Amino acid sequence: MSAPELCNILYVEDNPRLRCVTKMALEVIGRFHVRDCGSGRAALLEAAGFNADLILVDAQSCLNDGLRALARLRLLPQLRDTPAMFITGLAAAADVTQYVAAGAIGIIAKPLEPLRLALQVRQLWASQDEWSEGGRLPAPRQPRNTVLRSLI
């Protein structure tokens, strides 16, 4: 089974400068449509009018709780099974286990390289063939972080 086309990204990041650079890289280089939000609360409001194919969350955003922000977004019926990725500077095994448990299909380690970001997202998106029928990554196991390690 091949992954559906990725077009719309709901992006949650509380740092305005990083949010601007990331959005620009994803839109200009990746040709994605990005709805950027400065908090988990803003993402909840924006999600209602946006058909997200992917949720991209900075793990340390939203008062250092991107995991909680994703959990709240997952309560919305239209986002319940939407694939998610985390951007994070915390990529130790214990951290990665938490992201997988939250349903992440992969992580993108900081520091970000804007010129490579769209490619990283596309590669992780393409790797979602390993999902189970329910749209969730089998638990527990490593996400496609290893693909990114070779690129970074």
Which sequence spans correspond to the domains of the chain? 8-151
| Spatial separation of the C-alpha atoms in residues 152 and 147, rounded to whole Å | 9
Domain range 8-151, CATH architecture: 3-Layer(aba) Sandwich (3.40)
Q: Do 101 and 143 touch, CB atoms closer than 8 A?
A: no
pLDDT digits (tens, 9 = 90+) for 39-68: 999 999 999 889 999 999 998 866 558 889
Burial class (CB in 10 A: 0-12, 13-18, 19+), 52: buried
pLDDT single digits (tens) 83-122: 999 998 877 788 888 888 888 998 999 899 999 999 999 9
pLDDT at 116: 96
Please state, as a whole number, how many other Cβ atoms lie within 10 Å of the Cβ of residue 108. Answer: 24
On the question of pLDDT at 144 being above 70, the answer is: no
